[in-house]
């Protein structure tokens, strides 16, 4: 595994972190688990992180099959995925935590669900459309077995990081406060917007060679 591949995996990891924005989801996690004791809250964090890993790995392995089934080219999906990431990024930069991933109906339904670690935490709050789109783009762009293994490893490390952050969520939310979390969310939104524009630019250059 050379240095170029390591850079790709690191870029993928950072893109996932920006798309998922686990720090911005923390206040929602604390609110959804307010009725749980510490043991139950830790179990919910573990379930959510495991579900995120499963969703993203399935997207990684089956993404190209889905594109082929609908006869969608990778470059077209790059443009569509990039537009989606930019849309989510603008919402994040406006400070609207979670509203881009979960509508009011889903939010009201989630209160009565026992397994909140899967719905709505893992899907759609953490492993939402932005993260899934980014994963499919990278999987299609780097289809080699070594690359696939590296991307899966990145997802597993990322899921483990989410697990650790969610376990510390009450402490981190209390320390940072809503203002601190909003600042971090806006920074993540800026990074996500740049990644989305990169997807769009690469897709358009391939679809319209005259632009390059």
The 10s digit of each residue's pLDDT in 44-83 is 999 999 999 999 999 999 988 888 888 888 888 889 888 9
Residue-averaged pLDDT of the chain? 85
212 confidence band (pLDDT: 50, 70, 90): low
Q: How far is CA 187 from each of CA 29, 91, 115, 140, 146, rounded to the nearest angstrom?
A: 20, 12, 31, 27, 32
φ and ψ of 134, to 5 deg: -60, -40
What is residue 20's predicted lDDT score, i.e. its pLDDT? 85
SS3 string of 32-81? Answer: HCCCCCHHHHHHHHHHHHHHHHHHHHHHHHHHHHHHHHCCCCHHHHHHHH
- Given a cut of 80, whether residue 4 has pLDDT beyond it is no
Neighbour-count burial of 50, counting CB atoms closer than 10 A to its CB (0-12 exposed, 13-18 middle, 19+ buried): middle
Provide the pLDDT for residue 95: 65
- pLDDT number for residue 113: 43
pLDDT at 161: 96
Binned at pLDDT 50, 70 and 90, residue 104 comes out as low
Give the C-alpha separation, 173 to 19, whole Å: 19
Residues 129, 91: contact at Cβ < 8 Å?
no
Residues ≥6 apart with Cβ < 8 Å to 164 = none
pTM: 0.78
User: 10 Å Cβ neighbour count for 61?
Assistant: 14
Q: Taking a C-beta distance cutoff of 8 angstroms, is the pair 140, 81 a contact?
A: no
Residue 21 zone, left/alpha/beta (φ > 0; ψ -120 to 50; rest) = left
C-alpha distance across the termini of the chain, in Å = 31
Mean pLDDT, rounded, for 115-129: 84
């Amino acid at each position: 595994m050379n240095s170029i591949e390591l850079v790709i995996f690191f870029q993928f990891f950072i893109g996932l972190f920006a798309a998922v924005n686990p720090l911005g989801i923390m206040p929602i996690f604390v609110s959804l688990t307010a009725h749980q004791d510490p043991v139950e809250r830790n179990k919910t964090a573990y379930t959510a992180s495991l579900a995120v890993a499963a969703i993203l790995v399935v997207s990684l392995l089956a993404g190209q099959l889905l594109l082929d089934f609908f006869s969608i080219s990778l470059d077209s999906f790059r443009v569509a995925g990039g537009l989606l990431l930019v849309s989510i990024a603008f919402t994040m930069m406006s400070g609207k935590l979670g509203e881009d991933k979960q509508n009011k109906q889903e939010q009201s339904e989630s209160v009565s669900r026992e397994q909140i670690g899967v719905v709505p935490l893992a899907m759609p709050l953490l492993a939402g459309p932005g993260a899934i789109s980014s994963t499919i783009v990278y999987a299609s762009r780097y289809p080699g077995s070594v690359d696939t293994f590296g991307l899966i490893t990145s997802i597993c490390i990322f899921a483990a990081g989410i697990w650790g952050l969610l376990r510390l969520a009450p402490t981190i939310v209390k320390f940072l406060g809503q203002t601190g979390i909003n600042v971090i969310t806006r920074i993540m939104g800026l990074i996500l917007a740049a990644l989305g524009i990169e997807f769009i630019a690469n897709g358009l250059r391939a679809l319209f060679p005259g632009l390059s």
